[in-house]
């Protein structure tokens, strides 16, 4: 694949208390023929994430049409799994007018740095407002997925809900800092709410230079043809790079990272890191929304596929 980088689409101006900085994890959702809604997470002064949205033109994704004035979801109550941040990673429409927002909830710990578990919020008005399904996570910690069950990406197809997410129970030391170790898991659910305590290993950490994956983004091109776009935490650069794989069943993947064709720039907002790729096709055009350095401190960027 080859891409033409179109630049930064949007970053917060810092005026809103809930959106002082960053625009993390762009999550495109096609509202209609004219509008792509980018669900995105911004940070407050304490570094806690809350999701909002940025509407862009489907024909020109660098043109911003509307930005949410208020967060779609607040951080959780003290002591809950998402009391230190909510990061939206996937939005689907299982039935007309009803949206499911899957998100990663962050909890600061004392004997480990943090935990990340998965929550669900529901919209009944097409994505203008959301309500928590539960104060508890829908993917809670378990014996085999102890500290991390986050970065969820969902599809509703073939009469079932499918979920790809990152999970793990270990930490590694990197430049004197404890960093998470997790791989990619997969499972299905009849309702998108109730999930098993353990997912099927879908893609494992296989190279010495990597210690984790970022939010997966799955595209189904045909009956037996899946693509997955993801981020790879690399030890050598202490930052994310983008990865790509293909599959016939959506579970077992053939990694083709070199085929992604979208990497850091020599001197720009994405010179040190590139992450959280999310791909959407509009008519004959395909766009990839992503973040650059420092987890999106300079905002949401977009590239257009040219080959």
Domain total for the chain? Answer: 1
Enclosing domain of residue 130: 3-305
Share of the chain above pLDDT 70, in %: 100
Q: What is the mean pLDDT of the chain?
A: 97
β-pairing, 239-247 vs 254-255, is antiparallel
Cα–Cα distance measured from residue 99 to residue 7, given in angstroms and rounded to the nearest whole number: 29
Q: Please tell me the predicted confidence (pLDDT) of residue 76.
A: 98
pTM as predicted: 0.97
Share of the chain above pLDDT 90, in %: 96
Closest CA relative to residue 182, chosen from 208, 149, 153, 207:
149
- Is 206 a residue whose pLDDT tops 90? no
Angle at 21 between CA 20 and CA 23, to 5 degrees: 125
C-beta of residue 253 within 8 angstroms of C-beta of residue 206: no
- Is 223 a residue whose pLDDT tops 90? no
C-beta of residue 63 within 8 angstroms of C-beta of residue 92: no
What six digits make up the tokens of 143? 């014996």
Q: Please tell me the predicted confidence (pLDDT) of residue 150.
A: 98
* Mean pLDDT confidence for 182-191: 97
* Mean pLDDT confidence for 74-79: 98
User: What CATH number corresponds to the domain at position 106?
Assistant: 2.115.10.20
pLDDT per residue over 106-137, tens digit each? 999 999 999 999 999 999 999 999 999 999 99
């Amino acid at each position: 694949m080859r891409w033409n980088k179109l630049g930064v689409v949007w970053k917060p101006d810092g005026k809103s208390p809930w959106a002082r900085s960053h625009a993390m994890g762009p999550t495109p959702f096609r509202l209609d023929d004219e509008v792509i809604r980018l669900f995105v997470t911004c940070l407050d002064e304490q570094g806690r994430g809350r999701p909002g949205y940025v509407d862009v033109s489907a024909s020109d994704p660098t043109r911003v049409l509307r930005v949410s004035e208020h967060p779609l979801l607040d951080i959780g109550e003290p002591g809950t799994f998402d009391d230190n941040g909510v990061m939206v990673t996937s939005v689907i429409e299982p039935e007309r007018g009803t949206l499911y927002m899957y998100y990663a909830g962050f909890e600061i710990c004392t004997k480990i740095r943090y935990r990340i578990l998965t929550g669900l919020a529901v919209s009944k008005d097409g994505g203008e407002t959301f309500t928590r399904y539960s104060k508890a996570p829908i993917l809670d910690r378990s014996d085999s997925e102890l500290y991390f069950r986050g970065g969820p990406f969902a599809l509703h197809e073939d009469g079932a809900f499918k979920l790809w997410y990152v999970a793990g129970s270990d930490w590694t030391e990197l430049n004197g800092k404890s960093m998470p170790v997790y791989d990619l898991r997969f499972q299905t659910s009849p309702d998108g709410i109730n999930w098993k305590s353990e997912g099927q290993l879908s893609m494992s950490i296989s190279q010495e230079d990597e210690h984790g994956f970022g939010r997966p983004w799955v595209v189904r091109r045909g009956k037996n043809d899946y693509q997955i776009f993801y981020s790879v935490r690399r030890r050598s650069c202490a930052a994310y790079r983008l990865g790509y794989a293909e599959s016939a069943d959506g579970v077992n993947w053939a990694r083709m990272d070199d085929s992604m064709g979208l990497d850091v720039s020599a001197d720009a907002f994405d010179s040190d890191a590139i992450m959280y790729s999310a791909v959407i096709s509009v008519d004959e055009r395909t766009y990839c929304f992503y973040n650059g350095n420092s987890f999106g401190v300079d905002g949401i960027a977009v590239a257009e596929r040219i080959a």
